[in-house]
Amino acid sequence: MTLLAVERIKLFSTRSPWWCAVAALVLTTGFTALVVGNADEEFPATVASTQFGYSFGLAVIMVLAALAVTTEYRFGTIRTTFQAIPNRTAALLAKTTVVALLSLVIGEIVAFASWGLSLLLQPQADLALNSTADWINVAGVGPVYAFAAVMAVAVGILVRHSAGAISLLLIYNLAVESLVSLIPNIGDDIYEWMPFNVANKFLTGAGASNAGRAAEAGAPMSTSPLSPGWALAYFAGVALVLLGIAIASARRRDA
């Protein structure tokens, strides 16, 4: 608990988490307003369409999480940290936990703000959360943000440089995953197991929250064959394995 308090003080005594939280909220709700505001009779707004913008917030969250680590390397405070807490595993786990919890909270705020905004914009649309799929699609954004933050922290520990870690994360998230499916023959099979595609499966499931409509009415469906529950477990697993590798490396390397 002490270590969690330490990391909480460190995180909130700088301004970047606040800016990132605001940026995540503005970007995501802004995109939601565009999508939902343009819904019409033919394609009415759905619960899923209120969350199409979640990937914008996701990118911001990963920037926040990577920065939480890389700025420590940049300014040398990681050495002060390891000096105060020689058990590097404990120190880094505490940091990851605090960043992940913050991301979870931001995720929930962003998701419900987007949904609430949609209710105001399209009061006549059926946006009630009246199935498990609906609930997962909105409330699931928090856990996805949290585990994405764990991945970003892990990459930050491994790469150590802000610019390097952030470009790696964003290029991967925004481009590399979807480009994988362009590989002839095996591309689609690999893509099914790419972590962010799988995370999308957790959120959107088989499309129930999108009123059974598929790609033509918004974001494409995830191609992952996993059930939503397993999809989250898989996404979390990838994040935790990355974190394990990162911590093992941090223990071995000179700070």
- Minimum CB distance to another protein smaller for 2 or for 124: 2
* Residue 1 found at the interface with another protein (CB under 8 A): no
Least separation in angstroms between residue 20's CB and another protein is 14
Quickly count helices (H) and strands (E) in the chain: 12, 0
**Distance, CA of 158 to CA of 174 (rounded, Å):** 20
Give the interface size with another protein as a residue count (CB under 8 A): 27
139, 217, 240, 255: residue in contact with another protein (rule CB under 8 A)? 255
Longest dimension (CA), the chain: 62
Nearest to 98 by CA among 20, 159, 153, 21: 153
- Minimum CB distance to another protein smaller for 15 or for 185: 15
Site residues (CB under 8 A) for another protein, limited to 65-94: 71-72, 75-77, 79-87
The three-class DSSP label of residue 126 is coil
Question: Residues with Cβ < 8 Å from 234, sequence gap 6 or more?
Answer: 193, 195, 198, 226
C-alpha dihedral, 13 to 14 to 20 to 25, nearest 10°: 40
Site residues (CB under 8 A) for another protein, limited to 11-30: 13-16
* Residue 10 found at the interface with another protein (CB under 8 A): yes
Least separation in angstroms between residue 84's CB and another protein is 4
* Residue 6 found at the interface with another protein (CB under 8 A): yes
Candidates 8-16, 108-116, 213-221, 240-248; binding stretch for another protein (CB under 8 A): 8-16
- Minimum CB distance to another protein smaller for 15 or for 40: 15
C-beta of residue 95 within 8 angstroms of C-beta of residue 253: no
